[in-house]
Amino acid sequence: MNQSLTPLFTALKHKNETVSCHVPGHKNGRVFLEEASPYYRKILRLDATEIEGLDDLHEPEGVIREAEELLSALYDSDSSFFLTGGSTSGNLALLLAAGPGEKIIVQRNSHQSVFHGLELADQQPVFLAPETDSVSGLGLGVSSRQLEKALRSHPDTKAVFLTNPTYEGYTLPLKEHVEVCRAYDTLLFVDEAHGAHFLPGSSPWFPESALSAGADAVVQSAHKTLPAMTMGAWLHLGVSMDKTEVKRRLSMIQSSSPSYPIMGSLDAARAYAARKNDWKETVEVISLHKKMLETKIRLLPESIGPYRLDPLKINLYTEEEGRPEKWQEQMKRERLFPELISPVHLLVVLSLDKEDISETIKKLAPVFSRETFIEKTHYPVPGKGLTSLVYTYGEMFTKKTHEVSWEESEGMTAAETVIPYPPGIPLLLRGERIHSTHVEERNRLRKKGVRIKGGREKLKVFDPGEDNKS
């Protein structure tokens, strides 16, 4: 297929010459707030609806179908779909398509949309704790050995849902995970939101994609690392998936008025990725500039055991409390804004453009003064087992809740999720039994100054009595 074509974007350009007798109300950008119009005018010309020639995302037969077929050919999937609600919409659709009440093994440090999907589908989750970095404590992934052990304990599992790469960019080869899932006749879904640039042609310079490894379904946020608009994502399916059911669920999740500017940008981003042929040179530029940074400041390593860091991610790391906040202030003065800041690290995300990479890191390097630090050996620390919920999601919906102190919560059931960062792995999930180890770990993290979302002072728990709505 001719990957230089952009069927949807091209159709949107030609549509600019029409007169709008339909929604949206800005009428191709001619009707808009005067002071805002100069900023929005060009993009509003692309903000169309399902008129003749622009196809329908939910039943594509024309330019959207052509664009999705080009996408599928590029990533070598059985079928691929445009998503205008981010990877969230793809994650939700996959879980709903797996069916209500099914048992799903889920990596514990998954995106919140995965937990929301489990609840919407009223499924039986089994949570699998990921390995962590021995030095920073940041969450990594799930080893194939961990996964095999989990499936041995739960052979009736319908699907496994993993996240690869992590937010910080660490990836794990998934071929062994695919083999394990096939041995147990279990589907493998992968949230690869941060890996849309893991194309078949980008390896070995970039990590292998989950799709190339053989995963059954993969969700990618094109807007995170490719030049697509925010909320632009795509979903890839393998031959084992029920395409009709996934499409039905996508139609439930996605708007009946999808954004044409977002879809057009997805078409353009796919063409951009297809034309890129300098993967090796891109990584060489990144490596050169990272070495310059490493003379001044400590970075998390390129690999931790079998985990490999995506070249587009730079993690500045420290053990000095409050240091990342100082880095952020220094960056802000130079109009530089990081992707993420935590008590122990600061995350920078690069683009795929060599000039932009050089410019970004050259501006970044002078911000930092030279620091002294002791190099430590990083290695994966095994996760702490499997957990299930005390109540089903349906039961939790009807139960009353109240707040208690952490000290008196042992033996009760959590009615809220508690997430410390780092490592970004939930300490407690809504519906889990609270043990003394949870209380001890929460107290330890508080003393260290770790930020904790949920259960800050008191903890919300379910009443043990009759089921009643709170």
Is the pLDDT confidence value at 182 over 50? yes
Is the pLDDT confidence value at 367 over 90? no
Alpha-carbon distance of 113 to 123, in angstroms, equals 14
Across the chain, mean pLDDT equals 92
Is the pLDDT confidence value at 344 over 70? yes
Is the pLDDT confidence value at 39 over 60? yes
Is the pLDDT confidence value at 26 over 50? yes
Token pair for residue 122?
């009223």
Q: What are the b/e assignments for 113-145, b being 16+ CB within 10 Å?
A: bbbebbbbbebbbbbbbbbbbebbbbbbbbbbe
Alpha-carbon distance of 434 to 451, in angstroms, equals 20
Alpha-carbon distance of 425 to 444, in angstroms, equals 15
What is the arithmetic mean of pLDDT over 397-415? 95
Is the pLDDT confidence value at 374 over 80? no
Alpha-carbon distance of 7 to 11, in angstroms, equals 6
Kindly indicate the confidence band of residue 425, based on its pLDDT and cuts at 50, 70 and 90: confident
Is the pLDDT confidence value at 467 over 50? no
Alpha-carbon distance of 406 to 459, in angstroms, equals 6
What is the arithmetic mean of pLDDT over 433-445? 92
Percent of the chain at pLDDT exceeding 90: 73
Among 145, 273, 137, 265, residue whose Cα is nearest residue 200? 273
Read off the pTM: 0.93
**Higher confidence at residue 368 or residue 246?**
246
**Higher confidence at residue 90 or residue 423?**
90
pLDDT of residue 205: 96
**Higher confidence at residue 46 or residue 224?**
224
Beta bridge partners of 453: 419
What is the arithmetic mean of pLDDT over 198-206? 93
**Tell me, what DSSP letter sits at residue 329?**
H
What is the arithmetic mean of pLDDT over 106-128? 96
Token pair for residue 213?
């490894």
pLDDT of residue 465: 67
Kindly indicate the confidence band of residue 72, based on its pLDDT and cuts at 50, 70 and 90: very high
In sign, the C-alpha dihedral spanning 187, 175, 170, 203 is negative
What contacts 130, CB < 8 A, 6 or more positions away? Answer: 107, 108, 109, 139, 140, 141, 142, 383, 425
Q: Are the C-beta atoms of residues 26 and 44 closer than 8 Å to each other?
A: yes
pLDDT of residue 470: 41
Phi, psi of 54 (to 5 degrees): -110, 0
Among 386, 373, 366, 363, residue whose Cα is nearest residue 432? 386
Q: What is the CA radius of gyration of the chain?
A: 23
Is the pLDDT confidence value at 339 over 80? yes
Q: How many residues does the chain have?
A: 470
Which of 204-218, 295-309, 399-413, 415-429 bottoms out in mean pLDDT, i.e. has the lowest? 415-429
Q: Are the C-beta atoms of residues 78 and 84 closer than 8 Å to each other?
A: no
pLDDT of residue 464: 84
pLDDT of residue 17: 66
Q: Which amino acid is at 31?
A: V
Which of 11-20, 75-84, 106-115 bottoms out in mean pLDDT, i.e. has the lowest? 11-20
What domains lie within the chain, and their CATH numbers? 58-270 (3.40.640.10), 279-368 (3.90.1150.10), 389-462 (3.90.105.10)
